């Protein structure tokens, strides 16, 4: 045996990252178990952001509880309040006016744009490309201005209510024109960024083949959303939602399951979101935006699933005397934590944070449940 190999010392160590880390938007703990700087195992621990939202919702009037769900996340606040209202509408048999549904779709796809652009900006920051990061935040401002124009806030717009949308979210000709102009501007800017991004050899070499999640592992780990579609699985819950039936769009997939595929997924999904918004503006039907002709009643546990920027969002609750009972909310990042841990294995420790970030984690969304253990 070669003397060098015989005398080689393998160094095993645990490297903790967090709960606060410069490359992380939120506090969480990442433990890396390494062997000669190669990650052999990884563990993500959440819980720092726990606020007990589901417990607070217990016993609240349903419309107040729906509004509270917006506070779960600042990035996908519209997704939460829409799905919470949708749960109540399914339970109570409320028919949402068609015009209100189109406005909800516009808000949701604008939120998808702002979420994906934020993801790309944060990913660029982790890559160490501050210029790309700042450019993407600049592009995202167009989306934030449109959300603020419609909902009155750049974050937590409060657009959805039981039976439709709030009166302040009505879209007149001026607002529709601004949305149309915004989509044209976004398409131009995102296209220019994408061309610049994929033509940068240093960036592409840094993200190709890193943090690979195979299709088999993605299905085994029950991944959802773009994280799953980046492995070649064309699964998008919008195809099963009746609200999206009037709209034509493609389900974007990539094949390699690495950081490059994850980033390109969000780039191309931006164009599909723009396509849906243009159709909604063009075909926006006339009519009311709210249906208040319904009666409150007790209902059994009712569930609702929708496709949000990170994947499948689940809400469920029952109603008793107009108050919420037994609320459960499951966010996409809960399903994708296993993929984040798996993606680190086999790569250098310098790629670990990038492997986690590629799955677009939102741990603040995820932190709602607690585990009681016996000491």
Determine the Cα–Cα distance for residues 232 and 253; give it in Å rounded to an integer: 5
The encoded tokens of residue 102 equal 């189109």
Q: Check: CB of residue 236 under 8 Å from CB of residue 269.
A: no
Check whether 188 is labelled as a binding-site residue: no
Check whether 359 is labelled as a binding-site residue: no
Check whether 365 is labelled as a binding-site residue: yes
Check whether 76 is labelled as a binding-site residue: yes
Half-sphere exposure of 316 (CA within 13 A, CB side): 9
Count of beta carbons in the 10 Å neighbourhood of residue 51? 12
Check whether 344 is labelled as a binding-site residue: no
Q: Is the dihedral of CA 117, 120, 125, 131 positive or negative?
A: negative
> Which long-range CB contacts under 8 A does 166-169 form with residues at least 24 apart?
166/290, 167/289, 167/290, 169/103, 169/107, 169/289
Check whether 73 is labelled as a binding-site residue: yes
Q: What torsion do the CA atoms of 83, 88, 91, 96 make, to the nearest 10 degrees?
A: -80
Closest CA to 140 of 165, 110, 99, 161: 110
Q: Detail the residues annotated as belonging to a binding site for Mg(2+).
A: 54, 329
Q: Detail the residues annotated as belonging to a binding site.
A: 54, 73, 76, 329, 362, 365
Q: Detail the residues annotated as belonging to a binding site for Fe cation.
A: 76, 365
Q: Detail the residues annotated as belonging to a binding site for Ni(2+).
A: 73, 76, 362
């Amino acid at each position: 045996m070669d003397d060098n190999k015989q005398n080689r010392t393998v160094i095993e160590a645990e490297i903790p990252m967090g709960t606060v880390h410069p490359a992380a938007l939120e506090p969480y703990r990442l433990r890396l178990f390494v062997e000669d700087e190669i990650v052999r195992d990884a563990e993500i621990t959440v819980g720092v952001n726990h606020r007990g939202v589901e417990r607070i919702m217990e016993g609240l009037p349903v419309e107040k509880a729906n509004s509270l769900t917006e506070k779960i996340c600042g990035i996908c606040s519209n997704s939460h309040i829409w799905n919470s209202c949708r749960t109540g509408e399914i339970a109570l048999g409320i028919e949402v006016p068609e015009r209100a549904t189109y406005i909800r779709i516009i808000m949701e796809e604008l939120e998808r744009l702002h979420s994906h652009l934020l993801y790309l900006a944060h990913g660029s920051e982790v890559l160490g490309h501050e210029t790309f990061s700042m450019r993407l935040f600049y592009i995202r401002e167009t989306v934030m201005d449109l959300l603020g124009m419609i909902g009155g806030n750049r974050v937590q717009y409060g657009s959805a209510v039981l039976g439709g949308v709030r009166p302040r979210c009505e879209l007149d000709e001026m607002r529709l024109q601004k949305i149309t102009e915004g989509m044209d501007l976004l398409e131009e800017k995102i296209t220019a960024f994408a061309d610049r991004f994929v033509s940068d050899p240093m960036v592409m070499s840094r993200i190709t083949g890193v943090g690979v999640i195979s299709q088999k592992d993605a299905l085994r780990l029950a991944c959802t959303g773009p994280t799953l579609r980046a492995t070649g699985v064309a699964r998008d819950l919008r195809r099963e939602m009746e609200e999206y039936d009037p709209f034509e769009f493609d389900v974007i997939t990539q094949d390699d399951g690495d950081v490059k595929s994850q980033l390109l997924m969000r780039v191309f999904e931006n164009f599909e979101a723009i396509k849906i918004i243009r159709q909604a503006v063009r075909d926006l039907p006339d009519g009311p935006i709210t249906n208040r002709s319904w009666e409150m009643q007790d209902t059994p546990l009712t569930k609702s699933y929708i496709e949000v920027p990170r994947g499948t969002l689940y809400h469920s609750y029952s109603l008793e005397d107009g108050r919420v009972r037994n609320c459960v909310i499951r966010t996409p990042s809960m399903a994708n934590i296993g993929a984040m841990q798996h993606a680190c294995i086999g790569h250098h420790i310098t790629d670990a944070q990038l492997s986690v970030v590629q799955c677009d984690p939102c741990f603040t969304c995820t932190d709602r449940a607690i585990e009681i253990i016996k000491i």
